[in-house]
Amino acid sequence: MTRLLLLPGDGIGPEIVAATRTVLEAADHAFGLGLKLDEAEIGFATLDRHGATIPTHVIEAARAADGIVLGPVSHNDYPPVAEGGRNPSGVLRKELDLFANIRPAATRSLLPSPINRPFDLVIVRENTEGFYADRNMASGPGELMPDPDMALALRKVTRRASA
């Protein structure tokens, strides 16, 4: 059995995750995948009730799952971190040490290719460091604006993540 945790998120997230659930259930039925789909709320749905956009019990459920389906979240609209407005995506990357973001892309014989020829591509992006403002500093973002026309970003690179 493969346990997946569905986290609908905010905005269009619940709609996307509901459609994803339908596809997963159909695939499970057609191919006997042995999927068990659990769902937990995050984002604005949990902020008032639990005081956090990603409560501790959801992080523990994610840690126990074999995989996660994360819907879009409205992290730019959340209150400050001190008021519970943590970015669920960033929290999961850090808490679960999700060091790689893997994005496969390939043409399919029944669909037109966007570049008019077949391709099979996998992009692997380092996911815990780099120029992401939410993960570079112990406190606050890793971006500075010395003046309105200039933005600087600090990049975090560690031996552990580079080895």
Q: What is the DSSP string of 42-80?
A: -THHHHHHHSSSS-HHHHHHHHHSSEEEE----GGGS--
Return the SS3 of 140: coil
Segments making up each domain of the chain, as ranges: 1-97
pLDDT band at 54 (very low <50, low <70, confident <90, very high): very high
pTM: 0.76
Give Cα separations from 130 to 33, 114, 154 (angstroms): 36, 30, 8
Mean pLDDT score, 2-20: 98
Closest CA to 133 of 153, 109, 113, 149: 153
Angle at 18 between CA 29 and CA 65, to 5 degrees: 70
Give Cα separations from 73 to 13, 78, 125, 153, 154 (angstroms): 7, 9, 20, 23, 24
Amino acid identity, residue 17? V
pLDDT band at 134 (very low <50, low <70, confident <90, very high): low
- H helix or E strand, kind and range, residue 4: strand 2-7
56-114 per-position pLDDT tens digit: 999 999 999 999 999 999 988 999 989 999 999 989 988 998 878 888 999 988 888 88
Dist. CA 132–CA 141, nearest whole Å: 8
Q: What's the pLDDT score for residue 144?
A: 74
Q: What's the pLDDT score for residue 139?
A: 62
Closest CA to 5 of 75, 86, 70, 91: 70
pLDDT band at 136 (very low <50, low <70, confident <90, very high): low
Would you give the distance in Å from CA 87 to the centre of its chain?
9
Q: What's the pLDDT score for residue 111?
A: 84
Q: What's the pLDDT score for residue 135?
A: 55
Give the phi and the psi of residue 161 in degrees, each rounded to 5: -80, -15
Residue 13 has pLDDT above 90, yes or no: yes
Dist. CA 152–CA 69, nearest whole Å: 33
Mean pLDDT score, 135-152: 71
